[in-house]
Amino acid sequence: MALTLYTLCGIDPARPFSPHCWKAVMALAHKGLAFEEAPVPFTKIAEIEGGASRTVPLLRDGDRLVADSFAIAAHLEEAYPDRPSLFGGAGGLAAARFVEAWSIATLHAALSPIILVDIHDRLAPADQAYFRETRENRFGKTLEEVVANRDAGIAAFPDRLQPLRLMLGRQPFLGGEGPLFSDYIVFGALQWARVVSRAELLPEGDPVRDWFERCLDLHGGVARRVPAAAA
């Protein structure tokens, strides 16, 4: 059964960047499922599958459409129970819900004032206009005002990851000896920054940086195939 995953890209379709889409990519790779990735820019999302979703990722699995990265992971877990588990049971699914909330409230909130202009600069003109309007409405200020204290945000960012750092001092992944969807949730946030921005967020020797490098190499290096942002 053919699977298609719609993801988000800027002017270069070979560089999908959405943190939520990366969660879905890693979930599909974890399950060992072959899929076609179909990157689309912001202003084309409404045209996908006849307007089936206002956001990506969106997964077509046969005759079923599933939107939202967590819903996609839950669908894959249910639809392909013979493949490696993304949650390791009901407790792991519940824990992943917490990790999702923590990642959005803490990591995404810290990364936005660092990378918003970087995202804007990697979009086509029509998408730049859309991105600027929607994000400036969301933040109540211009993109440039949002990132005015960018250097301070970069300096403070490692401290946001201290709970993760403490856990990774005891085990190689959030999932234990191997990754689970909780790993992909946090990974998606850091991959978002890696693909769009040259900001150095984690120092050499940081356990979180080491974990991130391990995640980049998972599943045949599917995430590392998209290179880090260049100038």
Write the pLDDT tens digit of every residue in 54-73.
999 999 999 999 999 999 99
Same domain for 72 and 138: no
Q: What average pLDDT score do residues 67-85 get?
A: 98
According to DSSP, residue 225 is labeled T
User: pLDDT class for 157, splitting at 50, 70, 90?
Assistant: very high
**Domain that includes residue 163, residue range:** 90-221
Same domain for 65 and 169: no
Domains held by the chain: number: 2
Q: What is the pLDDT of residue 1?
A: 58
Percent of the chain with pLDDT over 90: 98
Q: What average pLDDT score do residues 104-124 get?
A: 98
Same domain for 199 and 104: yes
Rounded distance between C-alpha atoms, residue 193 and residue 199, angstroms: 8
The structure tokens listed for 105 are 């409230």
Rounded distance between C-alpha atoms, residue 231 and residue 220, angstroms: 27
Pick from 148, 216, 153, 160: which is nearest to 187 by CA?
A: 216
List the CATH number of the domain containing 94: 1.20.1050.10
Rounded distance between C-alpha atoms, residue 147 and residue 98, angstroms: 28
Q: What average pLDDT score do residues 101-114 get?
A: 97
Q: Decide if pLDDT at 131 tops 90.
A: yes
Rounded distance between C-alpha atoms, residue 133 and residue 145, angstroms: 14
> In which region does residue 18 sit, left (phi positive, over 0), alpha (psi from -120 to 50) or beta (all else)?
beta
Our CA angle for 41, 190, 66, nearest 5°, is 50
Rounded distance between C-alpha atoms, residue 77 and residue 206, angstroms: 32
Interval 163-202: pLDDT, tens:
999 999 999 999 999 999 999 999 999 999 999 999 999 9
User: pLDDT class for 30, splitting at 50, 70, 90?
Assistant: very high
Same domain for 54 and 141: no
Same domain for 165 and 57: no
